Structure 1
Amino acid sequence: MDRERTRPAGDRDEMRAVADPLGRAMLAHHRDEPGELVYRDGAATQDGNVESFYFSSSESWDRTTIEVLERLSDHEPILDVGCGAGNHLLWWADRGVRAVGVDASPNAVLTARQRGFEATLVGDMFSLPVPTGAFGAVHAVGTQLGLGGSLAGIRELLREFARVTADEATAVVDNYDPTRLDECFGYRSDPREGIAHRCFHLEFERNGADGKRYREIGRTLHFLLCSPARLREATAETPWRVRDVLRVDGDARYRAVLEEASIEST
């Protein structure tokens, strides 16, 4: 066992520095090992739903998800940013579409590899470990776009997506639209129109081989929630422009299809 796996709950500061609760939960689920993932915001908690979020069958996916995956298939190779346990990567692989996955979680990457998809890398999405101009499309769903933390931070992330893609590339990102959102777990309002925030951290608990209960506590995550109109603002001074906004039955969550052109032409 490695050092993280055998550390009992207690030394909170050190645990936060090295913990990977979401990735651990994915790997444990794949290995059929018991454990519990929760989102925590103060005293409030929410089930992490590892199976439904990261291991669901494509038969259960909504039509918008399939439409996005099909659209990106025409722009291979695809870079799946925040690939998690590799569900979308495996969908593309089954159809002969070239794709590479990147995730900040070492254990999520290990999970994707153990599920049969080797082309996965550990890396920071703000400094992607891939060559310039190597991809025709970027897929970044799971609302990690909001980890930019501000419109300026989202703009920085979009510039990195532009670096790793060729001319006239396509990208798909997603977020929650505060103008259609009454509440969600970890919600924080903002006085600006079309802007809100979401803050929480993840905890994964499991029983160790020594009979003790172990807990991994992740760092606090801050997501900026922005409406499609605000996302259009964030694309300013980047090569990206919003082509389409896709929703499921008017849901607050949306997917935005971005198209890349030179800054000079836009």
Structure 2
Amino acid sequence: MTDTDPFGRAIRDHYLGERDEPLYDRDGDDVREHRIEEWYFGEHTDNAWRDQWLEGPLLEMGAGVGRDALYYQDQFKTVAIEVSEHLVETMDDRGVRDARLADMFALREYFEHDRFRSAHAIGTQVGLAGSMAGVREFLADLASVTTPDATAVLDNYAPELEATAEAFGYREDSAPGFAYRVYHLAYKGDVSRTLLFRLFSIDRLREATIGTPWEVCEHRYSDVQWRAVLEKE
């Protein structure tokens, strides 16, 4: 099978009303249908705790089809990035004013120093760094493209919570505070590369900020995830 961005293509087809097959997440014999409408095309949910930390110019990483960017751009300058051309095109169609094809794990290649006042990545994308060394490199890059007084809001699955073990594609890790999720996506006969999400606890996130300008100033838990606010020291 070829890797032709089945994820982005399925979401694009859904937006255009042309999707006649499901997008599947697959982990060996385990299969679930990706809930595209529910997960990507809802309205921005009011979240005063999260939104109080965000100011413009804002960098939204892993912006999907622009659900949150459409809200934030009416508050302040917002740049929304994705690695899928299909998703960037869909954001454009939906009215996102500054949607760009860019990799959140190579931010210095796309943006100048001190470009953003805040940053936002909700959807556990930070786990795609793959390793804690990758997380540290990401935080260093994010520090470079944000102002000295910047804030960032990130989330991830929380291996410190028992319920997280039920997450799709979950893999245990013998090291405390760590786990993985591993699966791929399939749509109309095309299969994505295998996605490897590194799961790490809030305490491990704090360790990852050592040597970077960031510190974890607040966090909250949902059933299986944490959401954290980082500020520059």
Shorter-chain TM-score bucket reads over 0.9
User: Tell me, which stretches of 5 or more residues in structure 2 are unaligned?
Assistant: none
1:84 aligns to what? 64
Give the corresponding residue for 2:18: 33
Instruction: Give the aligned residue type for 2:205.
Output: L
CA displacement 1:129-161 (0-9 Å, x = unmatched): 122211001101111111111111111111111
In structure 2, relative to structure 1, the CA distance for the partners of 1:70 and 1:32 (3 Å cut) is: farther
Aligned length: 228
Q: Which of the pair has more CA radius of gyration?
A: 1
Partner of 1:116: 95
Cα distance in 2 between the residues matched to 1:99 and 1:69: 13
Counterpart residue number, 1:156: 137
Amino acid at match of 1:29: H
| Seq. identity, % | 39
Q: CA RMSD in A?
A: 1.3
CA shift, 1:216, in A, is 2.2
- Matching residue within 157, 160, 181 for 1:198: 181
Aligned to 1:137: 118
| Pair 1:55 & 2:66 matched | no
State the shift of 1:66 in Å. 4.6
Tell me, yes or no, if the aligned pair for 2:53 and 2:229 is still in contact at 8 Å.
Answer: no
Deviates more, 1:163-172 or 1:128-137: 128-137
CA drift at 1:118: 3.0
Which consecutive unaligned segments of at least 5 residues does structure 1 have? 1-11, 206-214, 262-266
Partner of 2:191: 217
Runs of 4+ that moved beyond 4 A: none
SS in structure 1 of the partner of residue 106 of structure 2: coil
Letter in 2 for 1:196: A
Deviations 1:200-253 (A, max 9, x none): 011122xxxxxxxxx2211001011011011101111111100100223xx221
Query: One-letter code of the match for 2:72?
Result: W
Amino acid across the alignment from 2:91: A
- Report the residue type matching 1:245 in the other structure: H
- What amino acid maps onto 1:119 in structure 2? D
Deviation of residue 121 (structure 1)?
0.8
String of CA shifts for 1:40-90, please: whole Å, max 9, x gaps: 1112111111111110123xx3x5x45313431xx2110001111000000
Q: Does 1:126 align with 2:105?
A: yes
User: TM-score with structure 2 length normalisation?
Assistant: 0.93
Query: Residues 52, 158 of structure 1: CA spacing in aligned structure 2 closer, same or farther, 3 A cutoff?
Result: same
* Matched residue SS, 1:202: strand
Q: Secondary structure at the match of 1:199?
A: strand
Counterparts of 1:199 and 1:117, CA distance in 2: 31
Is 1:238 paired with 2:212?
yes
For normalisation by structure 1, the TM-score amounts to 0.82
Letter in 1 for 2:5: D
Secondary structure at 1:96 match in 2: coil
C-alpha separation between the residues in 1 aligned to 2:176 and 2:116?
34
